Amino acid sequence: MFTGIIQAIGEIASIEKRSGDVRLTVFSSSLPWDDVELGDSIATNGVCLTAVAFIPQGFIADVSVETLDLTTIKHWQKGTAVNLEKALTPQSRLGGHIVSGHVDGMGEVVSREKDARSERFKLRAPKSLAKYIAHKGSITIDGTSLTVNEVDGDIFDLNIVPHTLDHTVIGSYSPGTQVNLEVDVIARYLERLLMGDKAAESGTASQMTESFLAQHGYLK
């Protein structure tokens, strides 16, 4: 588990294709490595990766075909900058929100503009994920815990303060940039709970609609 508070920016040192999937080497001179052990999880642009080996100031991880399909890793190259966060411990401060590192899908930056000292970003989410994104709710963008400012259909707004721009890869975003999205885990579980016994039926995993909510008394 993670908090969505980025600890360092690293870069992809190498990408090695292996029988259909990928082995990554990630380097960072600014992330403390002294407490990272073999098998530990490290969120890399929001993707939970397991350290299978180490290099000086870096780690090596294997990436499955499913992860390649669902995340921006498929577009990474040697030198790509990535947000890094080590897994939280019982002593960690939960400064962001509960983040699993299990990316739900990819979004796209639609626009970026100045808003005093901050910057305002509009992003488009896949239609299958838009229902989980709420005004003033939490969302994880490339591993960064953020608050949603506005929502309009599948478009949502983020106000990014200077510190976050300077200390995450968000500062490099421009219209067209693809990002990893993880919606609030509470929203995903709430959907299953609201479905009740229907959740156990085949083919009903993602059928939470307005008509379903109205039928069961959650909308008037």
User: Which of 164, 162, 138, 140 lies closest to 149 in space, CA to CA?
Assistant: 138
Q: What pLDDT does 187 receive?
A: 83
Q: How confident is the model over 27-42, as pLDDT tens digits?
A: 999 999 999 999 999 9
Task: Copy the structure tokens of residue 198.
Answer: 């229907």
Q: State residue 209's pLDDT score.
A: 56
pTM of the model: 0.87
| Residue at 91: amino acid letter | Q
pLDDT tens digits for range 187-218:
878 877 877 777 777 766 555 555 655 565 55
Q: Six-digit token pair at 153?
A: 């259909």
Cite the DSSP H helix spans in the chain: 65-70, 127-130, 162-167, 185-195, 210-215
- The answer on pLDDT for 93 being more than 80 is no
C-alpha angle 181-187-193 in degrees, rounded to nearest 5: 140
* Residues 112-129: tens digit of each pLDDT: 999 999 999 999 999 999
Query: H or E element: which one contains 62?
Result: strand 58-63
What is the Cα 87 distance to its own chain's centre? Answer: 14
Domains parsed from the chain with CATH numbers: 8-86 (2.40.30.20)
